[in-house]
Amino acid sequence: MAEICYEVVTDACPSSVYESTPAHSRRRPRFQTVMHEDWEKNCKRSKQEALATRYSSIPRSSREDFSDQNVDVSSPRYGVSSVCGRRREMEDAVAIHPSFSSPKNSEFPQHYFGVYDGHGCSHVAARCRERLHKLVQEELSSDMEDEEEWKTTMERSFTRMDKEVVSWGDSVVTANCKCDLQTPACDSVGSTAVVSVITPDKIVVANCGDSRAVLCRNGKPVPLSTDHKPDRPDELDRIEGAGGRVIYWDCPRVLGVLAMSRAIGDNYLKPYVSCEPEVTITDRRDDDCLILASDGLWDVVSNETACSVARMCLRGGGRRQDNEDPAISDKACTEASVLLTKLALARNSSDNVSVVVIDLRR
């Protein structure tokens, strides 16, 4: 899939965001955002759709009229920013699939967001971007899954994804993969996966690795995932219980090699590096937004700071104004994601940075 690289020009960053930044880091680095064509397609809505969503605040009983016309009245607002940063290769991938699942008899669709941070090479993350949402879709069994059903769905999807990247390595290699064609290297390549499915009532998050999902609620961060670091006490117990070791080499690493305890792929470190996701299910309330991002952001930006930046971009996080043009909150989400990315680079993040900001205001 072709990648389009272009320079993003945005408003100057408010100086307060940089208060804790050393003076010499204030100069904003110039960078290119990598955006895939399908993201642009997702962002361009038809006029009819835009017109319909203008009325998304009308009473529920009247909204059914729009459903009858097959107009998507609950399209999510979101923004994406994904940059290579200081590392030479781009190994992050982002997948966004509005209305990816419309179960029978369900009044409202569900929306899928995923951030995948590859290591060793990019092809496992790229494969997750192409396939994981389809596996989740296949595993969904009913329109109103309960908590246990969501956990089963996500665990089965992640396990299938992990098996796919292992067996896929034995057959075909895509042209954009940097590994030699004759020797697919899936055994020692992997990816994180932080996935969120947003329904009208709930936020489901499934996480494997050290990317992260943070809910911004009343301006305060609520972590919806916990990073899988090898020295997390329960992860350390699990690894050693399986006969593995966590060695502090330059930081805690499984067998001294990998700095995360769960990942899709990395077959050579199984069973110590597990692909089983941790799943959280959160009821929706008056939430501001959800932030999914790779550790290129979270290593240098706290949950609190990320929420403050996002909330500020979403106009103080109040209820969305009646009849607010959906393009406005799309732009706000994009600005939030771009601003967070630039903040990470300004704070000398040395990794790829990928950020998705999803407007959850009703």
Partner 1 sequence: MKTSQEQHVCGSTVVQTINAPLPLVWSILRRFDNPKTFKHFVKTCKLRSGDGGEGSVREVTVVSDLPASFSLERLDELDDESHVMVISIIGGDHRLVNYQSKTTVFVAAEEEKTVVVESYVVDVPEGNTEEETTLFADTIVGCNLRSLAKLSEKMMELT
Give the total of residues touching partner 1 (CB under 8 A): 29
Give the separation between CA 230 and CA 234, rounded to whole angstroms. Answer: 9
- The window from 16-24, 103-111, 174-182, 339-347 that contacts partner 1 (CB under 8 A) reads 174-182
Tokens of residue 350, six digits: 């040395």
Rounded to 10 deg, the angle between the 326-346 and 303-313 helix axes is 140
Q: Please report how close the Cβ of residue 123 comes to partner 1 at its closest, in angstroms.
A: 12
CA neighbor of 193 nearest in space, from 294, 99, 268: 294
Q: Segment near partner 1 (CB under 8 A), from 42-50, 112-120, 138-146, 334-342? A: 112-120
Of 91 and 139, CB closest to partner 1: 91
The annotation status of 117 as a binding-site residue, yes or no, is yes
92 annotated ligand-binding residue = no
| Binding status of residue 173 toward partner 1 by CB under 8 A | no
Q: Residue 157 or residue 207: which is nearer to partner 1 going by CB? A: 207
Q: Is 182 in the site for partner 1 (CB under 8 A)?
A: yes
Q: Is residue 231 packed enough to be buried (19+ CB in 10 Å), middle (13-18) or exposed (0-12)?
A: middle
Say whether residue 119 binds partner 1 (CB under 8 A): yes
Q: Does 283 bind partner 1 (CB under 8 A)?
A: no
Candidate segments 57-65, 249-257, 304-312, 322-330, binder of partner 1 by CB under 8 A = 249-257
Residue 60 CB, nearest approach to partner 1 (Å): 47
Minimum gap (Å) between residue 270 Cβ and partner 1: 12
Is position 258 an interface residue for partner 1 (rule: CB under 8 A)? yes
Minimum CB separation of residue 191 from partner 1 in Å reads 10
Least Å from the CB of residue 253 to partner 1:
6
Is 118 annotated to bind a ligand? Reply is yes
* Chain center to CA of 340: 14
Stretch that binds partner 1, among 226-234, 250-258, 317-325, 328-336 (CB under 8 A): 250-258
- Residue 68 annotated as binding? no
β-pair partners for 194: 115, 207
* Residue in 10, 40, 249, 323 binding partner 1, rule: CB under 8 A: 249
Of the two residues 89 and 147, which places its CB atom closer to partner 1 in the complex?
Answer: 89
Radius of gyration of the chain (CA): 20
Q: Is 3 in the site for partner 1 (CB under 8 A)?
A: no
Pick one of 7, 19, 146, 180: the residue that binds partner 1 (CB under 8 A): 180
In the window 68-97, what residues touch partner 1 (CB under 8 A)?
A: 87, 89, 91
- Asked if 171 is part of the footprint of partner 1 (rule: CB under 8 A), the reply reads no
Binding mask 141-170 for partner 1 (x = CB under 8 A): ------------------------------
Contact by Cβ (8 Å): 317, 285: no
Binding test (CB under 8 A) with partner 1, winner from 189, 198, 314, 332: 189
Which residues in this chain contact partner 1 in the complex, by CB under 8 A? 87, 89, 91, 118-121, 179-180, 182-183, 185, 187-189, 245, 247-251, 253, 255-259, 268-269
Residue ranges for the known binding site for Mn(2+) are 117-118, 295, 351
